[in-house]
Amino acid sequence: MNINFASTSQIGARESNQDRTGTLLGNASACFLVCDGVAGDAGGDMAAQLARDALLAELHDDRPIEPGETAKWIAVAENAIRDMQRNNLNLKRMSTTLAALFIDRHEQRSWWAHAGDSRVYHFRRGFIHAVTRDHSLAQQMRDAGYENTGINSNLLYTALGAEGSQSVSYSEVVHLEDGDAFLVCTDGFWSSLSEQEMEQALRMVNSPQEWLALMQDAIDRSDKKDNLSAVAVWVGSPQETTLFQSTADSARFLPPRD
């Protein structure tokens, strides 16, 4: 089954980019990830880079992979951060979010893991089929049925390297279908787009590069402030299973008329 991907990482209105993206596409396996260094403490960018590099190194030999190995890979990534924290006290509070998609190409199956508020979206036949749930106070309040307007969406209870952090979340195994698409992204990316806009953009393009570019154009017209990064992954031919809908639905992605 053919796999195509594209990635982007933008600084937004920040002074530096603490996001990191990672991609690994082999004949037997694949991994696509984003990490977002947690702001407010020194070393967020380093935490993101350490986690990305350590996780991809676990898969560098392009062998068949199993879902049961995932927790071990994540532990290696977090231990890389913990080692740096112990060796440099100035970085003892550094941490990062993580969203990582894994694909076993031989068995044509996928699964994902995440910590914090970076997300994995799975699209099937042009619509969102599944999405991760943020490890944030805002999400907890929403799940409990409370109003969360005004709550700082950056208050996380899980991040790699964070003190007292809770468990990373793991998905069920999903068997791939021709036309499946995935979006792995940081909060600076998904917070600027509605789920309906992500779906509509997918129905208007012929490649993952075009999909990211169309969404990026829409984000650029908004009041973006945070770093924003994403990896788009296409399995087979999503453009053959989705349909362009009405002009009204696609208004945000079309250039304004003079």
Q: What distance, in Å, lies between the first and last C-alpha atoms of the chain?
A: 44
Sequence-separated (6 or more) residues with CB below 8 Å from residue 115: 74, 97, 98, 135, 158, 159, 160, 165, 168, 169
CATH domain 3-11+18-253 topology: Phosphatase 2c; domain 1 (3.60.40)
> 14 near 226, Cβ under 8 Å?
yes
Q: How far is Cα 240 from Cα 200, in angstroms, rounded to an integer?
A: 14
pTM value is 0.90
Q: What DSSP string describes 89-120?
A: GGGTT--EEEEEEEEETTTTEEEEEEESS-EE
**Span 127-181, pLDDT tens digits:** 999 999 999 877 666 666 665 565 556 689 899 999 887 789 999 999 999 999 9
Sequence-separated (6 or more) residues with CB below 8 Å from residue 109: 103, 173, 174, 175, 176
**Span 185-210, pLDDT tens digits:** 999 999 999 999 999 999 999 999 99
Residues in the chain, total: 258
Q: Which range has the worst mean pLDDT, 97-101, 103-107, 248-252?
A: 248-252
Distance of CA 53 to the CA centre of its chain: 16
> Over 80: is that where the pLDDT of 256 sits?
no
Question: How confident is the model over 62-85, as a mean pLDDT?
Answer: 97
DSSP 3-state of 69 = helix
**Span 8-28, pLDDT tens digits:** 998 877 778 899 999 999 999
Query: Mean pLDDT for the chain?
Result: 89
Q: How far is Cα 255 from Cα 96, in angstroms, rounded to an integer?
A: 36
